[in-house]
Amino acid sequence: MRINTNNENNTTMKELLYLCNMVVMLLFMFPLTTTGVTIEVLTPGTLEQVIDDSDEPSFKDLKITGQINAVDISYLRTGTGRIATVENLDLSEVTIVSGGGSYATVSYSDNSNTMDNYVITFYVAEENRKETTFESNMLGGNNFHITYYSNQLAGAFANKSYKTVVMPKNVKEIGPMTFFQCKDLINVEFANPIEVIDERAFESCVNMKDIDLSKLKTLGQGAFAGCESLRGSADETLDLSSLDIIPDNAFGETAFKHIVFSTQLKQIGAQAFYYCESLEEIVLPEGLEEIGIYAFYGCSSLTTVNIPSSVQNFDYDMFGNTPWLSTLPAVDGVVYLNNIAVRYMNDDRADFSITIREGTESIAPNFMSNDSKEYLTSVVLPQTIKRIGGGAFNGCSNLSSINFPEGLESIEDESPHQWGGDVYTTNEGAFGGTGLTSVILPSTLKSIGQHTFYYCSSLESITLPEGLEEIGSGAFAYCTKLTSVTFPESIKKIGCGAFSGCTSLAGSVTIPKDVTELGSGIFDETNLFSIIYLAENAFLDGESGESGIFSAERVTIGADVQSLPDGFFSYCKTLKKV
């Protein structure tokens, strides 16, 4: 038999005390986390106090009931204290009420192209509204201050780390930037199918895999851009069967393989499915009218596409860098799609001409985009042509001959381009920098787009037809050999700087009586002597800054002109007599 000594008893007691101390220390350092807890808020604005008064030190799943306001939403955004460990947030039994001031401020910069900075502030309000102010940041961009008022949790979880959020039962739409850049977010649950999702609501939620959009009717720009894990249903299909307009950059860089489009789809915005590298096929419905620039650019698995005949304008870069695009056949170097001449593909290194086949109705923007453009000397258009896209023949410096058939309705605005993920425009109009010397436009033409004949330094004469209604900004700017211009009585709008820099333009010009809109600097840097102004009801669009409408020595006001637009004589530095 063994007998315990006092020394052995003392040693055992010391060990027990040491172990107890260690347990207490560990509990202090790593408090036990309860799996789930429900917190009822009886008075809006007291959520933090109620949680602090609870018996639970911390928890992974948090359900909140009752009424909450901006103070409570702001607390949920902190992610500190007892809610630091919360991953799954259930707000299904919550009612959002006004009060409590601002609950979130989100800032970001766009340095890829515009150099714009944004500060966005969110408030709770009964009715949704947006207020925007801005000022120049002296860096080539603007500082935007945007305020959202909403009862739809706009911006509530932006940049936060919740993994699952159950939305309130009475929330019927997802507000702007609600889950903006929530990189840990996996799932959002709704009591009812969501019909409205506002701009940038889920942008860059890189771990979210699925969301039901089958009842979605309204979608904001960039709503799911950068959601690189978003695959949709089991067969990786995005169901947009209720959505008639898909906005810019809506699903850029997502992981869907298939898309179900609405049979009533009218418009797909710029970069809508930009770099969706898993997308394999699309079937676009008849009735679709517009596909935006770079809409499916970089969809490297896209092999099957149908373009309905209702799409009247097509840009090669809508589907740039896709396998499907390389399957389109070319006729004499011209790629055609339905009734659209899409792009010239031959790599010519000697003077050549192009004849567009009969039946073609549109020339796509940036039609001549390869290095052979400088060798193009003449173009023959068919009698069926109706539209010429922006930038179509821009930079074809030796192009000296082209016919403009009766039936042509519009020469469109300068073509957009891409830089750093953004879409922007340049001064590259349809015939900018060409070698045309004389232009006779048909009576069916209604509009001449921005910068259409910009820097056509050989252009000596133009005939503007009766029936023409609009001349875009910079349309004939720096046509330095142009000596005269006669506006038709039908003209309604003359854009900013339309004839600026036409240094040979002299003599007199008449502004007809039915003109309703005039841009600033229309005749800036010309040598006009006289302007005869007959417009009876025009306003001044001063977007081009400190330039007057006219650069002439004399202005004659018609007898029937009862009033002049505000700023009519501003910056008219050469004016001597009225």
pLDDT of residue 50: 94
- Tell me the C-alpha distance between 242 and 194, whole Å: 11
Sign of CA dihedral 319, 321, 324, 330: positive
Q: Are 82 and 94 in contact (CB under 8 A)?
A: no
- Tell me the C-alpha distance between 430 and 16, whole Å: 88
3-state SS, 440-484, equals ECCCCCCEECCCCCCCCCCCCEEECCCCCCEECCCCCCCCCCCCC
Residue whose pair of structure tokens reads 């005749």 in the numeric block: 523
User: Which residues, including other chains, have CB under 8 Å from residue 211's CB and lie 6 or more apart?
Assistant: 188, 202, 230, 232
- b/e per residue 315-345 (b: at least 16 CB within 10 A): bbbbbbbbebbeebeeeeebbbbbbbbbbbe
Residue type, 405: P
Per-residue model confidence as pLDDT tens for the chain (578 residues): 344 444 555 556 666 566 656 655 554 454 444 567 999 999 999 999 999 998 877 789 999 999 999 999 999 999 888 899 999 999 999 999 999 999 999 998 875 556 789 999 999 998 889 999 999 888 778 999 999 999 999 999 999 999 999 999 988 899 999 999 999 999 999 988 899 999 999 999 999 999 999 999 999 999 999 999 999 877 899 999 999 999 999 999 999 999 999 999 999 999 999 999 999 999 999 999 999 989 999 999 999 999 998 997 788 889 999 999 888 889 999 999 989 999 999 988 899 999 999 999 999 999 998 889 999 999 999 999 999 999 999 999 999 999 999 999 999 987 665 544 555 555 689 999 999 999 999 999 999 999 999 999 999 999 999 999 999 999 999 999 999 999 999 999 999 999 999 999 998 999 999 999 998 889 888 988 788 888 888 887 755 445 556 666 667 787 777 777 766 666 566 666 66
Question: Which pair of structure tokens corresponds to residue 566?
Answer: 């505000």
Report the DSSP pairing between strands 401-402 and 416-419.
unpaired
DSSP 109-168: EETTTT-EEEEEEEEE-SS-EEEEEEEE-SSSSEEEEEEEEESS-TTTTTT---SEEEPP
Residue 253: CB atoms within 10 A of its CB come to 21
Question: Which pair of structure tokens corresponds to residue 94?
Answer: 């919550």
Cα dihedral: 176, 181, 183, 185 (round 10): -10
- Report which of 174, 178, 127 is spatially closest to residue 150, judged by C-alpha positions: 127
Q: The whole model's pTM is what? A: 0.81
Question: Which pair of structure tokens corresponds to residue 173?
Answer: 């739409």
pLDDT of residue 544: 43
Sign of CA dihedral 539, 542, 548, 549: negative
Residue type, 577: K
pLDDT of residue 5: 45
- Tell me the C-alpha distance between 41 and 63, whole Å: 11
End-to-end Cα spacing for the chain: 130
- Report which of 468, 390, 404 is spatially closest to residue 438, judged by C-alpha positions: 404
- Report which of 103, 149, 146, 104 is spatially closest to residue 126, judged by C-alpha positions: 149
Question: Which pair of structure tokens corresponds to residue 405?
Answer: 């058939």
Q: In the structure, how many helices (H) and strands (E) does the chain have?
A: 3, 40
Q: Are 223 and 177 in contact (CB under 8 A)?
A: no
186-193 long-range contacts, CB within 8 A, separation 24+ = 187/163, 188/164, 189/92, 189/164, 189/165, 191/92, 191/167
DSSP label of 364: P
Q: Are 373 and 396 in contact (CB under 8 A)?
A: yes
